[in-house]
Structure 1
């Protein structure tokens, strides 16, 4: 297996529960190279969720369909990013000094703030998916939030310092990434978004107008960058940098923001 295929396999093994069977030597170099394929992993997750959404909406009313779609979405990642969301909430919402926040985030146990943050996040995601389903929104648009949320994870790794330096999983494997590493992931995210745009008229755009669809393709990347940058700066100001947990939290938060943007476009624009 050449280096490119190893990096692709590493991205899928690390970020998802897709059955990618490959024996890999997980070096820091391989981890860093794998980040260019993160948007592709997001597209694969989005594609499965899209197919699940099409089946669920055909068989079930919108509310149980939305819950099952969300369950499938979380299962495809093995709860990896949700775990980061909860650990980050436990740390940041403890309002302790920086070192104590980082220690709390290392604890494998989930605290009250983490549970509360997870419940609220899942409720919001489920209601946003429900709103999109009941508004005649095309399930194909589910491809976009996972693509751009995972692109921003790469951007965050390259743009903000590691809170623990070279310690921890993120510090050992992603430390030293540069802006060019995040730029390498941009073409893939753009191409995958373009593919979704091409497929939309072929598969049916529901009640979306072309103006709404075009706004979605433009605003979602901008919203991912804006919401992610604001959140990453806030986390860095409190923690002195980012950690593996905060990357997962950023992914979950951005996916939710992008679903919210889609709902706003659908109902207000």
Structure 2
């Protein structure tokens, strides 16, 4: 049990800026096995977003509450996944072949594709959450609690199904580049999908369907362009499927 707790804190420390206990040891091997708790980290991040939104919404209009709650979650994660999205936009948008795409992704500077992609992603998520706020504070809170774990499960599924394509040992995601065992994937799937019970049945089906569709499309695209995935691809899928969950819920409202 202690080992599992250590793995969870290892995932929490890697994927967020949140403090972890000093007694938690770190090693590439532990990070390798910590991917099973990536969706559970989403519970924490989603909870922070939901709590901050509800708190801000008590004294501010929904639009400002949404923007401030997004800022809080970005602070909590250190913009880890947003950075991956921007790098993926730069690399896949500006690169012609695999080598060039990987080289652009590795560049710490953000280019035009990354700037436009990140801006549109943040605007789209904010707009979707503001629309969800029309259904009350609970609708936004539940959407955040569902989207963050499920989107992180989407990224974890790429680790399990695709090949890691970077060869340099210094890559941040290199320690994670190992296919999950059946038990590890089951743990990740449970934590990623369980929050769907917070939604109405049609909302849950729509959120899951849109997340799966985006994940499958992204996986196919990454294989075609790169032959597999990189750490930036994982971040990109997290961002894209998080948005997809919000859009799925909104789409379901048209049929409820």
2:235 maps to which residue?
A: 248
Check if 1:3 corresponds to 2:6: no
1:169 maps to which residue?
A: 171
1:201 maps to which residue?
A: none
Deviations 1:165-219 (A, max 9, x none): 464435631233146232331122344444xx3xxxxxxxxxxxxxx71222333
1:122 maps to which residue?
A: 122
Deviations 1:99-149 (A, max 9, x none): 011001001111111111111111111111111112336233120000101
More deviation, 226-235/110-119:
226-235
1:108 maps to which residue?
A: 108
Q: Distance in 1 between matches of 2:191 and 2:63?
A: 33
- Secondary structure at the counterpart of residue 52 of structure 2: helix
1:163–1:242 contact (8 Å) kept in structure 2: yes
2:252 maps to which residue?
A: 265
Change (3 A) 1:22 1:219: farther
TM-fit CA distance, 1:84: 0.4
TM-fit CA distance, 1:46: 0.9
Q: Distance in 2 between matches of 1:21 and 1:171?
A: 22
- Secondary structure at the counterpart of residue 157 of structure 2: helix
1:140 maps to which residue?
A: 141
2:202 maps to which residue?
A: 215
2:149–2:193 contact (8 Å) kept in structure 1: no
Change (3 A) 1:171 1:190: closer
Check if 1:35 corresponds to 2:35: yes
2:203–2:252 contact (8 Å) kept in structure 1: yes
- Secondary structure at the counterpart of residue 59 of structure 1: coil
More deviation, 7-16/169-178:
169-178
- Secondary structure at the counterpart of residue 171 of structure 2: helix
2:189 maps to which residue?
A: 186
RMSD: 2.0
2:80 maps to which residue?
A: 80
More deviation, 58-67/165-174:
165-174
Change (3 A) 1:228 1:144: same
2:38–2:156 contact (8 Å) kept in structure 1: yes
Q: Distance in 1 between matches of 2:93 and 2:212?
A: 23
Aligned residues: 253
1:164–1:171 contact (8 Å) kept in structure 2: no
1:90–1:110 contact (8 Å) kept in structure 2: yes
User: Where does the alignment leave 5 or more consecutive residues of structure 1 unmatched?
Assistant: 198-211
User: Where does the alignment leave 5 or more consecutive residues of structure 2 unmatched?
Assistant: none
TM-fit CA distance, 1:58: 1.6
148, 151, 154: which is aligned to 1:152? Answer: 154
